[in-house]
Amino acid sequence: MQKEAVRDAAKLPSIRSLVRAVDFEGRSLHSINDLTNDQIYALFELARALEPFHRSSVDLLRGSVMVTLFFQPSTRTRMSFETAMHRLGGAVVTEANPLVSSSAAKEESLADTMRTISKYANVIVLRHPDDVAAREGASYAEAPVINGGWGDWEHPTQALLDLYTLWRTHGSVEGAKVVVATPDMVHARTGHSMAYGLARLGAEVTLASRKDYRAPEEIIEGLRKVEGARVREVFDLDQDGFNDLISEVDLVYLPGCSAPKGEAAEEFKKMMDEYYVRLETLEKVRESEGRIIRVTHTLPRRPGEMDLRIDDTPHQQYFEAIAYSVAIRMALVAAIVGA
Amino acid sequence: MQKEAVRDAAKLPSIRSLVRAVDFEGRSLHSINDLTNDQIYALFELARALEPFHRSSVDLLRGSVMVTLFFQPSTRTRMSFETAMHRLGGAVVTEANPLVSSSAAKEESLADTMRTISKYANVIVLRHPDDVAAREGASYAEAPVINGGWGDWEHPTQALLDLYTLWRTHGSVEGAKVVVATPDMVHARTGHSMAYGLARLGAEVTLASRKDYRAPEEIIEGLRKVEGARVREVFDLDQDGFNDLISEVDLVYLPGCSAPKGEAAEEFKKMMDEYYVRLETLEKVRESEGRIIRVTHTLPRRPGEMDLRIDDTPHQQYFEAIAYSVAIRMALVAAIVGA
Amino acid sequence: MQKEAVRDAAKLPSIRSLVRAVDFEGRSLHSINDLTNDQIYALFELARALEPFHRSSVDLLRGSVMVTLFFQPSTRTRMSFETAMHRLGGAVVTEANPLVSSSAAKEESLADTMRTISKYANVIVLRHPDDVAAREGASYAEAPVINGGWGDWEHPTQALLDLYTLWRTHGSVEGAKVVVATPDMVHARTGHSMAYGLARLGAEVTLASRKDYRAPEEIIEGLRKVEGARVREVFDLDQDGFNDLISEVDLVYLPGCSAPKGEAAEEFKKMMDEYYVRLETLEKVRESEGRIIRVTHTLPRRPGEMDLRIDDTPHQQYFEAIAYSVAIRMALVAAIVGA
């Protein structure tokens, strides 16, 4: 342990120069599009340099404070950010139940909350059910704000970690064939951020959804503006069509979206059936072509969306993604706070 | 960053002597009156020395643990204390929902909770809806307890930070003209602590409220005993009277109090109207006399109590106060834990 | 403080060798029986060496992260573990309201939660109302999992701290006469773990309960297999019988169990009456024999189970136990994470 500490300290200057190379200090991340392609790749390089420390720590942000403010439930995003901050030597102040335990319970405006918290924090991670309110509120913060999932709009750090995982496991994002599949692309904030990221880094992207639940016009419009983007939409596939589609790709990307409650739940379940990922489909390609189709899912809810036996096969990439999430979030936080 | 660390370490001995000068190690803060005037000014000096570290950190309390135990909602107080502890290099254990997640849900007495927690903590910050229970419970703790807002009685650290902000922005508390204004002075725990602090440090204080909601006898009695205190009460002002009153002061202090729900809400709103702070009143004085009347509000709820356009004027002092809150709470915690 | 740091650093090598002597790195603690007797005693030795640091800290686990995941209310267990981690120089990520604020609110399986969290944590402390689910879920974790109270089955670290307290105050566990007394031994997870620990370390154990609520067959079966165990059960004592019984022991151990609500509450209260610990019983023995019978209670709820005047007598051992809990949990966490 002590020897490691000496060895690790020797690596600090080169890590610090990778941090500076991202050139994002003091900036906020509302949309994946707040990062240039160069900045995304600089984050990937930094994350790779930080991977050896993702189960121990590197002393880059001693004395810095992250505030996590989550107006919606979360395990992965909040804990992964908090772990990342600790692995960088920083500290965390948490508000995970603002409607119960904070001044939001006393009807404070989000603007005032953000103004307040930004006096304490070096960086804020915010999750909020209403993306318009979140964007408006974040504009009042004097500290950088990271979007930790805003309404149905975007979830850029989930996309960043999935892009990074693809880059690490497939070798590159450019040229990778990816299907982003969900019946309901309207409410798939992760899918929106991921589609942008994939398109901009040169992947071949297929967005598969129901036509009446296709991605919002704002997202489609944004994707059209990406230079050289290779994006297509396919609608209303049946199970055979879906199987054919995923047989041709490198990565099947299942963006979680909140299942509706009550009456709509039954219809949602039926919609999901068409997009159910069968282990047999993956195995057939593996046997005939020797090619591994990777599957990732943003979790938490998987039953009914994919065969859980995939967990124990080389097709599984969702648990890998969680491990990579700490390194890429360490990179992002270090770049924003400045090390 | 590394150069700063070297430079900062050189400042540690002088900061440690400022900590010792407060002479409050191991003591609890239930009331603002637990501090002498000398101790308050020593805290101010220490806070000013700590200000340069309120966005980074100074390594004074490494290995010390603060427990924050909040039986009522809070953003500012809890987060500000937790940030202060991290900026001092210490650690925090949080219980922000004790009625849901702790043994309080299992009907433990507050005395036993305090006895227990004081075995873990070097310092405890307690918020509680019942000040009699809080005082009684705190007496069982073996570690120092800081009142983070107890019932309708006192909120001494809110007053400390507002006094410190006044000292920093106005230059002195002595001789400052301050109105503490709220229709309901019964339930204004912050107003009680602030009135004591202002009176004791030699400010000219006016308490403006409705007569049937004037400050409790215990508080008035306490204020009468302050040597040389310049405190007066004014009751039942109409909007013109209120405007006249605030036109003469250096600081308008609006102590938050919990708005009642249900039927009483409407009456409360009507009461508030008489004490509404108009931007025009402030601007008129500024134009005619060149004098800036500062307004502070303990937040969170401001709409209906003041013109929100004040936010973007030099009259606004509530957001400044939040920044100063970290430095003064760092000072208090360092003085109590001992650095 | 600085001199202490130098002196403490000099102790690190010997502490590290005590950590290694436990020989439990990377292991999980589901049952007290996951530890050998040698390992329990090695933890005791390590805890005693760590006691001087339980109000300050020792820099053993810098950069390591503990995740506390509590699906049931807790003050003592969670806060004591979190304090222990901070005193070791490590960091903590907390989820104390998973049904409100985490993905469990989104119907994630415990297996997936554990798989996820174990990518972040160096060690996980889990409390769960269903011990079968907890054992199953914990098996999916890639990081060591400590049982922080699972259903009605076991609560091994509560037993460890009570055994350690007995060892420290009585001088040895071997030969100590202990009664574990509760009308309802079915739901007394702490009693189960403690009975195992006492029996294995050579105490003379009496389990006193109602016959229709005796300890589950699994526990009795397990106790029978302990070599040389001196365990007996006694049932359905009246208050005189109970007084006679506790008059003969060194320690009266009252394992908390959740009082039922509703109709069953009244019957439970009546059951409790027979096992009520009277101060007079303890004083009579003290006066006639000069012998101090110690009483411990796992808290939180004590009224109705014992005379609260015991708090201020030398018979009281429950508050001592809380102080010792930090040292023994520091030892356990250091041994598991590896220092």
| Better-predicted residue by pLDDT, A47 or C272 | A47
CB-CB neighbors (< 8 A) of B62 in chain C: 57
Q: Cβ separation of A96 and C97 shorter than 8 Å?
A: yes
Question: Cα separations (Å) of C263 from A274, C258, C295?
Answer: 50, 14, 30
CA–CA dist B33, C22 (Å, integer): 51
Residue of B332, B22, B311 lying closest to B161 (CA atoms):
B332
Q: Cβ separation of C70 and B117 shorter than 8 Å?
A: no
Residue A2: what pLDDT? Answer: 46
- A168 in C contact zone (CB under 8 Å): no
Q: Which residue of C has its CA nearest to B89?
A: C89
Q: Cβ separation of A119 and B319 shorter than 8 Å?
A: yes
Question: Cα separations (Å) of C155 from A187, B240, C36?
Answer: 43, 67, 17
Q: Which of A117-131, A298-312, C47-61, C74-88 shows the lowest per-residue confidence on average (mean pLDDT)?
A: A298-312
Q: Which two tokens stand for residue B248?
A: 């003469």
CB-CB neighbors (< 8 A) of C258 in chain B: 106
Selecting from A83, A301, A319 the residue whose C-beta is nearest the C-beta of C108 gives: A301
- B91 in C contact zone (CB under 8 Å): yes
Backbone angles phi, psi at A107, to 5 degrees: 65, 35
CA–CA dist C228, A334 (Å, integer): 58
Best of A16, A106, A110, A115 to mutate (most B CBs within 10 Å, chain B): A106
| Better-predicted residue by pLDDT, A266 or B44 | B44
Q: Cβ separation of C301 and B94 shorter than 8 Å?
A: no
Residue A172: what pLDDT? Answer: 97
CA–CA dist C327, A157 (Å, integer): 39
Helices (H) and strands (E) in chain C, counts: 13, 9
Best of A92, A120, A125 to mutate (most B CBs within 10 Å, chain B): A120
Best of C77, C83, C309 to mutate (most B CBs within 10 Å, chain B): C83
| Better-predicted residue by pLDDT, A301 or C100 | A301
Helices (H) and strands (E) in chain B, counts: 13, 9
Q: Cβ separation of B74 and A119 shorter than 8 Å?
A: no
- What chains are in contact with A, requiring at least 3 Cβ pairs below 8 Å? B, C
CB-CB neighbors (< 8 A) of A117 in chain B: 75, 79
Q: In sequence order, what are the residues at sequence separation of 6 or more whose Cβ sits closer than 8 angstroms to the Cβ of residue C28?
A: C34, C138, C141, C144, C145, C146, C336
Q: Which residue of B has its CA nearest to A122?
A: B55
CB-CB neighbors (< 8 A) of C116 in chain A: 75-76, 79, 299, 319, 322
Q: In sequence order, what are the residues at sequence separation of 6 or more whose Cβ sits closer than 8 angstroms to the Cβ of residue C79?
A: B67, B93, B95, B116, B117, B120
CA–CA dist C309, C302 (Å, integer): 11
Residue A8: what pLDDT? Answer: 65
CA–CA dist C119, C114 (Å, integer): 9
CB-CB neighbors (< 8 A) of C74 in chain B: 101-103
| Location of structure tokens 């102590």 | B255
Task: Tell me the CATH class for A156-322.
Answer: alpha beta
Residue C108: what pLDDT? Answer: 76
Contact A253, A227 (CB under 8 A): no
Best of B88, B94, B112, B123 to mutate (most C CBs within 10 Å, chain C): B112
| Location of structure tokens 């890639």 | C142
What's the one-letter identity of residue C204?
E
Count the alpha carbons within 13 Å of B31 in the hemisphere toward its beta carbon.
14
Can you list the alpha helix ranges (DSSP code H) found in C23-101?
A: 37-50, 76-87, 98-101
CA–CA dist C89, C91 (Å, integer): 7
Cα angle: C41, vertex C42, C45; to 5 degrees: 90
CA quadruple B285, B286, B292, B298: dihedral positive or negative?
A: positive
Q: Which residue of C has its CA nearest to B90?
A: C86
- Integer-rounded Cα radius of gyration of chain B: 20
Q: Which two tokens stand for residue A167?
A: 């880059």
Q: Which residue of A has its CA nearest to B308?
A: A112
**Tens-place pLDDT, residues B179-216:** 999 999 999 999 999 999 999 999 999 999 999 999 99
Under CATH, domain A2-153+324-337 is a member of which superfamily? Aspartate/ornithine carbamoyltransferase (3.40.50.1370)
- B56 in A contact zone (CB under 8 Å): yes
Question: Cα separations (Å) of B65 from B57, B81, C309, C324?
Answer: 16, 12, 30, 16
Residue B5's CB is within 10 A of a number of other CB atoms, namely 14
Backbone angles phi, psi at A234, to 5 degrees: -130, 145
For residue C92, give the 3-state DSSP assignment. strand
- A102 in C contact zone (CB under 8 Å): no
CA–CA dist C329, C145 (Å, integer): 14
Q: How far is B300 from chain C (nearest CA, A)?
A: 23
In this predicted structure, the answer to whether residue C251 has a pLDDT above a threshold of 80 is yes
For residue B224, give the 3-state DSSP assignment. helix
Selecting from A1, A58, A76 the residue whose C-beta is nearest the C-beta of C103 gives: A76
What's the mean pLDDT in B222-227?
A: 96
What's the one-letter identity of residue C159?
A
What's the mean pLDDT in B245-274?
A: 82
Contact C53, C37 (CB under 8 A): no
Instruction: Work out the mean pLDDT of chain B and round it to a whole number.
Output: 92
What's the mean pLDDT in C231-250?
A: 96
Residue B268: what pLDDT? Answer: 75
Q: Which residue of A has its CA nearest to B327?
A: A120
Cα angle: B246, vertex B250, B252; to 5 degrees: 50
CA–CA dist A85, A122 (Å, integer): 11
Instruction: Report the greatest alpha carbon distance in chain A.
Output: 61
Any idea what DSSP says for residue C25? T
Best of B75, B76, B324 to mutate (most A CBs within 10 Å, chain A): B75
For residue C202, give the 3-state DSSP assignment. coil
Residue A121: what pLDDT? Answer: 98
Same fold, A2-153+324-337 and A156-322: yes
- B55 in A contact zone (CB under 8 Å): yes
Residue A1: what pLDDT? Answer: 40
- B26 in C contact zone (CB under 8 Å): no
Q: Cβ separation of B301 and A63 shorter than 8 Å?
A: no
Q: Where exactly are the structural domains of chain B?
A: 2-154+325-337, 156-322
Question: Cα separations (Å) of A96 from A68, A75, A78, A102, C92?
Answer: 7, 10, 9, 9, 15
| Better-predicted residue by pLDDT, A106 or C88 | C88
Q: How far is A83 from chain B (nearest CA, A)?
A: 15
In this predicted structure, the answer to whether residue C107 has a pLDDT above a threshold of 70 is no
**Tens-place pLDDT, residues B88-144:** 999 999 988 777 666 665 567 899 999 999 999 999 999 999 999 999 999 999 999
Contact C70, C78 (CB under 8 A): yes
Q: Cβ separation of C56 and B67 shorter than 8 Å?
A: no
- DSSP sequence for B168-191: HHHS-STT-EEEEE-S--SS-HHH
For residue A332, give the 3-state DSSP assignment. helix
Residue B47's CB is within 10 A of a number of other CB atoms, namely 27
- B79 in C contact zone (CB under 8 Å): no
CA–CA dist C252, B114 (Å, integer): 24
Residue A336: what pLDDT? Answer: 98
Q: Cβ separation of B339 and C1 shorter than 8 Å?
A: yes
CA quadruple A20, A26, A32, A36: dihedral positive or negative?
A: negative
| Better-predicted residue by pLDDT, B58 or C75 | B58
A93, β-bridge pairs: A67
CB-CB neighbors (< 8 A) of C107 in chain A: 300-301
- B272 in A contact zone (CB under 8 Å): no
What's the mean pLDDT in C300-307?
A: 81
Selecting from C93, C115, C339 the residue whose C-beta is nearest the C-beta of A82 gives: C93
SS3 content of chain A, % helix, strand, coil (to 5): 50, 15, 35
CB-CB neighbors (< 8 A) of A20 in chain B: none
Q: Which residue of B has its CA nearest to A61?
A: B56
CB-CB neighbors (< 8 A) of C102 in chain A: 73-75, 96
- C102 in B contact zone (CB under 8 Å): no
Question: Euclidean distance between the first and final Cα of chain C, in Å?
Answer: 23
For residue B21, give the 3-state DSSP assignment. helix
Q: What is the 3-state secondary structure (H, E, C) of A225-236?
A: CCCCCEEEEEEC
Count the alpha carbons within 13 Å of A64 in the hemisphere toward its beta carbon.
27
Contact A177, A251 (CB under 8 A): yes
- A118 in B contact zone (CB under 8 Å): no
Res. B304 pLDDT band, cuts 50 70 90: confident
Question: Cα separations (Å) of B289 from B247, B248, B282, B310, C327?
Answer: 10, 11, 11, 18, 64
Angle between helices A110-120 and A131-138 (to 10 degrees): 50
In this predicted structure, the answer to whether residue C46 has a pLDDT above a threshold of 50 is yes
Any idea what DSSP says for residue C306? B
CB-CB neighbors (< 8 A) of B65 in chain C: 83, 86-87
Cα angle: C177, vertex C178, C181; to 5 degrees: 150
CB-CB neighbors (< 8 A) of B63 in chain C: 53, 56-58, 86-87, 89
CATH number of B2-154+325-337: 3.40.50.1370
CB-CB neighbors (< 8 A) of C65 in chain A: 83, 86-87
Give the DSSP H or E segment for A145: strand A145-150
Q: Cβ separation of B302 and A112 shorter than 8 Å?
A: yes
pLDDT tens string, chain A, 339 residues long: the values are 444 555 566 788 899 999 999 999 999 999 999 999 999 999 999 999 999 999 999 999 999 999 999 998 888 999 999 999 999 999 999 988 777 666 665 567 899 999 999 999 999 999 999 999 999 999 999 999 999 999 999 999 999 999 999 999 999 999 999 999 999 999 999 999 999 999 999 999 999 999 999 999 999 999 999 999 999 999 999 999 999 999 999 999 999 766 666 777 777 777 788 889 999 999 999 999 999 999 999 877 777 889 999 999 999 999 999 999 999 999 999 999 998
Residue B2: what pLDDT? Answer: 46
- What chains are in contact with B, requiring at least 3 Cβ pairs below 8 Å? A, C
Question: Euclidean distance between the first and final Cα of chain B, in Å?
Answer: 23
- A339 in B contact zone (CB under 8 Å): yes
- B309 in A contact zone (CB under 8 Å): no
Selecting from A80, A89, A92 the residue whose C-beta is nearest the C-beta of C120 gives: A80
